[in-house]
Amino acid sequence: MGCCGSTERTKREWKPLEDRSCTDLPWFLLFTVFCVGMGSICGFTIATGGAGRLVFGYDSYGNTCGQRNEQIEGVRLSGLDQTDKKYVFFLDPCNIDIVERKIKSMALCVSLCPDEELKTYQDLKRFAMHNGSELCSYELAGHKYPGLPERFDKCPKLPVPPSKSLPVFNRCTPVDISCYAKFAEAVVMFVSDNSVLHRLIGGVMASKEIIVGLCLLALVLSMILMVIIRYISAVLVWILTAMVVLGSLAGTSILWWMYIDRRLTANKTLSKETAETTETKDAKEEAGMTRDKAQVLLVYAIAATVFTVILLLLMLFMRKRVALTIALFHVAGKVFIHLPLLTLQPFCTFLALLLFWMYWGLVLLFLGTTGNPVQNEETGLTEFRLTGPLQYMTWYHAVGLIWISEFILACQQMTVAGAVVTYYYTRDKTRLPVTPILSSVLRLMRYHLGTVAKGSFIITLVKIPRLFLMYVHNQLKGKENACARCMLKTCICCLWCLEKCLNYLNQNAYAATAINSTSFCTSARDAFVILVENALRVAAINAVGDFVLFLGKILIVTSTAFAGVLLLNYQRDYAEWVLPLIIVCLFAFLVAHCFLSIFEIVVDVLFLCFAIDTKYNDGTPGKEFYMDKALMEFVENSRKLERVVERGRSRPTVSVEGPEMKPMAPGTSSA
């Protein structure tokens, strides 16, 4: 059987949470091998000295500072004993290539960083004699610095700024680092010319307790909002729906009024034209412009009318689906009451991503100092570069960043889906596992890591070309023609849309796997069929639900900002509390986004469970529903409406009664 089922199969039974087996085992093995490869890259950088060169530093002749070195063939002054020289000193520390992210200056291993400014070569000589730290190239004698002709090329650029060593990476860093980037000059001028930046930083330090308190407030508001949405979802959704409809009607009416007004003005102008024979050229042009504007307004008014009519029809046909969205929001609130640890998922995921990104960045730095010694033809300095097949390790490492990051995010989705599925398909909510989240994590690690690896790899296959096209677009900015720019942007947009669609399908595939323990492709196919069969419901849930959650994010941010304004109001200087307020608002939006994204995943998983429940169960004995009381009321109301419609069609004949609804098993909680 192919990935998406190339052969027909018999209709299989859905047995939620009954059978559990390993899924997509080959993909788990492939992902394991890939992770071993990522670890091997780190081991290779350590074994070949790249990690040591990064930590301890190395000079322009390939010698690692602070240790005895071996001779490098073809590189003079290599193989020196630098045991007593633990610090890296740059002759011209401000000579940085921002594009290549490299320092072009010659580097030497020294025993001590200059802690005072050295203005002349006599000062260099005195520093070498008193401290035993020679700051010129190794072949130059310290007591001869002032008279050597090579001093202009192989000695530091004067004046030598005072420097100090970094706490971990033993580099002599100038105390004044303003020369490290040209763009920093504007910042330096800004800081030196006025004290605004100092006041902003001072405001942050003075308000640190308030900032922490407001961040905790945003956290608490996010948790509370997820709970109270279940109580205000009906009012909120219908208010938003009414606002959208009224806004469309009002906008359409205003456009028609503006068109009629312009039309009347044009008619008056035309009447003047026929009455006056001495009309000027300017008046004729003005009348023509008025008619043109009227035609444009007519087009806008017609388009708005068509949009409003379509919107009203959609609202008419989707009103029952909106009621389903309300019911799902209500049940989602109950899920968070029964499974409060779901609120910790964003923190766990963020921590896992942060740790991985730190590891990835560190290994990337190791790769920058790993490889064979190569002499730079432009600068004459010795650099370490990956050559031959080894240079592909960087690309492998870059793919690992995307795949493993997507894998971690997919694990979060599978964990949440597994917990929600356990809640939905447990008839008696008092018999839920003690820790459904932990049970979901254990099921994921034991059975479904291969499924998560496969789903995240598919996202990686789409994301890599999109990122590559974005890189090409940035590199060719201002050079490509309009057609090429349009094609690049179109491809990037299409890949972005495809990525979003695949993310949504993957999320539902993980839920299907959590329900029936099927492989990724089988689950994706089953989820796709279910979603297509309920396309209008999906559209209503995504449109209305996403808008409600977006407003929830705005509510949390504005509430936190309002509280911040009240608490920071005693700082009368605007410059002192604007930066703390911005920091708090950004944190509030991030927290709200994380929490409400989890809420959105819960709603989507509940909908898939509901769709499967209504497809394979009808409430008759032996096929009782698993759904919550709120969803059962929605189904009952829908069936009553269908019965009324069917009776109307067959009034003279026998009435058609649907199967009697059977409640959930006794003891099922509806709270």
Are 459 and 475 in contact by the 8 Å Cβ rule? The answer is no
* From 251-255, 354-358, 602-606, the region with the lowest mean pLDDT: 251-255
- Per-residue pLDDT, 658: 41
Residue 607: exposure state from Cβ atoms within 10 A (0-12, 13-18, ≥19): buried
Tens-place pLDDT, residues 551-604:
778 778 888 887 877 777 655 444 456 677 788 888 888 888 888 888 888 888
Are 105 and 92 in contact by the 8 Å Cβ rule? The answer is yes
pLDDT band at 432 (very low <50, low <70, confident <90, very high): confident
Q: CA 136, CA 129: separation in Å to the nearest integer? A: 13
- Per-residue pLDDT, 463: 92
Mean pLDDT for the stretch of residues 256-274: 69
Are 357 and 391 in contact by the 8 Å Cβ rule? The answer is no
* From 135-149, 228-242, 264-278, 353-367, the region with the lowest mean pLDDT: 264-278
Residue 388 vs residues 23, 62, 364, 372, 418: alpha-carbon distances, Å: 38, 20, 18, 10, 46
Q: Is the pLDDT of residue 352 over 90?
A: yes
Q: Is the pLDDT of residue 183 over 60?
A: no
Q: Which residue has the higher pLDDT, 523 or 537?
A: 523
- Phi and psi at 164, nearest 5°, equal -145, 155
Q: Which residue has the higher pLDDT, 338 or 657?
A: 338
pLDDT band at 396 (very low <50, low <70, confident <90, very high): very high
Residue 332 vs residues 98, 348, 431, 441: alpha-carbon distances, Å: 50, 21, 19, 20
Which of 210-214, 219-223, 502-506 has the highest mean predicted lDDT (pLDDT)? 502-506
Q: Is the pLDDT of residue 498 over 70?
A: yes
Mark 469-484 as b/e (b = at least 16 C-beta within 10 Å): bbeebeeeeeeeeeee
The amino acid present at 359, given as its one-letter code, is Y
End-to-end CA separation in angstroms for the chain: 44
Mean pLDDT for the stretch of residues 143-156: 82
Tens-place pLDDT, residues 27-47:
999 999 999 999 999 999 888
Q: Is the pLDDT of residue 78 over 90?
A: no
- Per-residue pLDDT, 201: 57
Residue 81: exposure state from Cβ atoms within 10 A (0-12, 13-18, ≥19): exposed
Which among 410, 449, 470, 519 is positioned nearest to 3, based on CA atoms? 519
- Per-residue pLDDT, 470: 85
Structure tokens at 123: 């000062």
pLDDT band at 192 (very low <50, low <70, confident <90, very high): very low
* pTM reported for the whole predicted model: 0.75
Q: CA 218, CA 202: separation in Å to the nearest integer? A: 23
Q: What is the largest CA-CA distance in the chain?
A: 119
pLDDT band at 142 (very low <50, low <70, confident <90, very high): confident
pLDDT band at 222 (very low <50, low <70, confident <90, very high): confident
Mean pLDDT for the stretch of residues 117-128: 87
Q: Is the pLDDT of residue 669 over 60?
A: no
Task: Write out the H or E segment, with its range, that includes residue 23.
Answer: none
**CB count in 10 Å sphere of residue 623:** 12
Are 419 and 436 in contact by the 8 Å Cβ rule? The answer is yes
Q: CA 282, CA 199: separation in Å to the nearest integer? A: 57
Domain range annotation of the chain? 51-190
Are 398 and 37 in contact by the 8 Å Cβ rule? The answer is no
Mean pLDDT for the stretch of residues 426-444: 83
- Per-residue pLDDT, 574: 45
Q: Which residue has the higher pLDDT, 649 or 574?
A: 649
Q: CA 281, CA 206: separation in Å to the nearest integer? A: 68
Q: Is the pLDDT of residue 655 over 50?
A: no
- Per-residue pLDDT, 178: 57
Q: CA 298, CA 293: separation in Å to the nearest integer? A: 9
Which among 642, 607, 643, 600 is positioned nearest to 628, based on CA atoms? 607
Mean pLDDT for the stretch of residues 609-625: 81
Q: Which residue has the higher pLDDT, 670 or 487?
A: 487
Are 621 and 23 in contact by the 8 Å Cβ rule? The answer is no
